[in-house]
Amino acid sequence: MLIWKNTSTFVEQTEEYMKRYYKLAAFCILVCGMLLPILSHSKEPSLSQTVEIKLKRLRDTVGISALVSDYSSQIQSSQILYRGRQAVKYSTVANGSNYWSDGRFMPGSIMYNKKHYDSVYMNIDAFAGNLEIKIANTDISLVLDPEKVEAFCIGKRPFIYMGSEQTLLPQGYYEVLYCGEVVLLKGVRKLLMSSVDNMNGTDGIGYDDPHYKMGLATYYKYLPYYYYLSGNEVKRLKRGRDILAFYPKERRAIKNYLHYKYNYATIDIERYIVEVASYAESLK
């Protein structure tokens, strides 16, 4: 048992310990006060900035000699890109296609698992929501892990995958229609439906099928979705003119511009929203 012989010594030591404690506490408060403003400004990028970052990474890695660019050599070296599961071949006979536009695989580039690949033949299964790549000189296609896909181009059309890193958009693949001060995205779903009254074309199954068969009730219905992104603001555009709500001051100038350019002709929603966003940005 510890007995203090000198009470004053105990008090003095206690006071010394308390002074040190208060100095340390004051120092911690000071440091936190200095770091808090810095940490508060180091925010995560907004949703529209995320789209821009993904596309920039894809563009910036094009042409780097250290990366594999030859399609056949990628297969021979067993790159991680070609380790996906084999895509399902649907046995259902139906008008239209389960793919985004049609069944053709087109060449492009992709940023996958933080690596860039060129001359990859790709297509999007809009029925299952999968990105597929074609193995050269075969009929085999593989499904890529979506969480490893950042961005890719099919031909000259840029696409991104919006996954679990965000909650503002439904997870899936999107075509980037416009990327400026705002971002315009397009998603596509294909639904397998059945109706004896289905027709070919935009007023029927939603698109033109060159191999459309009269009397075949089953078809893949085309359902496009359009989104407007500004920062973390997300708005689904059900009609072309919905985008005008974001430009109240420029609304009249935009309408006059479109009437003059297209001579009052009707234009599709895709072209309309891109024209509005680009022209509105030019006015600023």
Tokens of 68: 């594999």
Question: Looking at the DSSP assignment, which residues form a beta bridge with residue 122?
Answer: 106, 133
Reported as a single tens digit per residue, the pLDDT across 155-192 is 999 999 998 888 889 999 999 999 999 999 999 999 99
Nearest residue to 161 (alpha-carbon basis) of 244, 284, 50, 278: 50
- Confidence class for position 8, pLDDT limits 50, 70, 90: low
pTM of the shown model = 0.79
Mean pLDDT of all residues in 109-117: 90
Q: State the DSSP string of 180-246.
A: SSSEEEEEEEEEEEE-TT--SBTTTTSB--TT--TT--EEEEEEEEEEEEETTEEEE-SSGGGGGGG
- pLDDT at res. 74: 47
Reported as a single tens digit per residue, the pLDDT across 252-269 is 999 999 999 988 788 899
